[in-house]
A = this chain, B = another copy of it.
Amino acid sequence: MSVVVQDIKRAAPEVVKALGLCGVATVHEAMGRAGLMAPNMRPIQQGARLVASAVTISAPPGDNWMLHVAIEQVQEGDMLVLAPTSPCSDGYFGDLLATSAMARGCLGLVIDAGVRDVAELREMGFAVWSTAISAQGTVKETPGSVNVPIVCAGAVVNAGDVIVADDDGVCVVPVAKAGAVLKEAQARMAAEEAKRVRFAAGELGLDMYDMRNSLAKKGLKYE
């Protein structure tokens, strides 16, 4: 049951790139509030924004063997997304693996487990989101799978899905929806820009969205 799927479908590079300009919160809204990882998936650095196609990894607890297997599958502009088969906080990934991954054009890592060498990873500019930081090492004894569907921090990720990550967290966009989500996200950004100007001028949301009547109907009283 250990398998490496080698041929995966990725979204068009220009769509991926454009999604990266939108931000996780906007993309998540554009997805109809789907695809978001749980809030304990946090960046190890501040201010990074990442968008890339997912090479997925299913790995046993405390065993990082499949990361070496996965790195061979990485194409320029991809990233790694790892979910352990049971909860684990071990440090699966450090600066040596990051060196190897970067040499293959890998842009970053999202992992529902731990990483280590975080000072070095920050210096190298290799973007990481994880659910733990831990120096605890791993073994290389049991195979897992690469490019199979996984559940990572509560979100389903298929190989090739577009991952958007920033300081707010991580959102997953299925390849088949990437174009439509981009269009919706760009529309939202334009609309938000217009609202921002009005908010900055002091206009209230109560008036901008015409909420006073509906609030009164639902029973809100002013004292």
Structural contact, B39 and A136, CB atoms closer than 8 A? yes
Structural contact, B209 and A167, CB atoms closer than 8 A? no
With A3-B223, A167-B118 given, is the CB distance from A211 to B90 under 8 Å? no
List B contacts of A220 (CB < 8 A): 2-4, 69, 143
List B contacts of A200 (CB < 8 A): 99, 102-103
Task: From A10-18, A29-37, A175-183, give the one contacting chain B.
Answer: A29-37
With A2-B218, A28-B135, A169-B133 given, is the CB distance from A72 to B204 under 8 Å? yes
Cα(A67)–Cα(B199), bound, Å: 13
Is the C-beta of A215 less than 8 angstroms from some C-beta in chain B?
yes
Tell me, rounded to whole Å, the shortest Cβ–Cβ distance linking A223 to chain B: 5
Between A and B, 28 residue pairs with Cβ closer than 8 Å are A2-B219, A3-B222, A3-B223, A6-B223, A7-B223, A23-B117, A24-B116, A25-B137, A33-B85, A33-B137, A36-B134, A36-B136, A39-B136, A47-B119, A68-B204, A68-B209, A86-B90, A88-B88, A96-B196, A96-B199, A104-B202, A118-B168, A133-B168, A135-B168, A143-B215, A143-B218, A151-B151, A154-B154
Known: A2-B218, A133-B169, A139-B142. 12 other contacts (CB 8 A): A2-B220, A4-B223, A28-B135, A39-B114, A68-B204, A85-B136, A95-B196, A103-B200, A103-B201, A133-B168, A139-B141, A142-B218
Name A residues whose Cβ lies closer than 8 Å to a Cβ of B: 1-7, 23-25, 28-29, 32-34, 36, 38-39, 42, 46-47, 60-63, 65, 67-69, 71-72, 85-91, 94-97, 99-100, 102-104, 114, 116-119, 132-137, 139-143, 149, 151, 154-156, 166-169, 171, 192, 195-196, 199-206, 209, 211, 215, 218-223
Closest 3 CB pairs of A and B: A68-B205, A61-B62, A141-B141
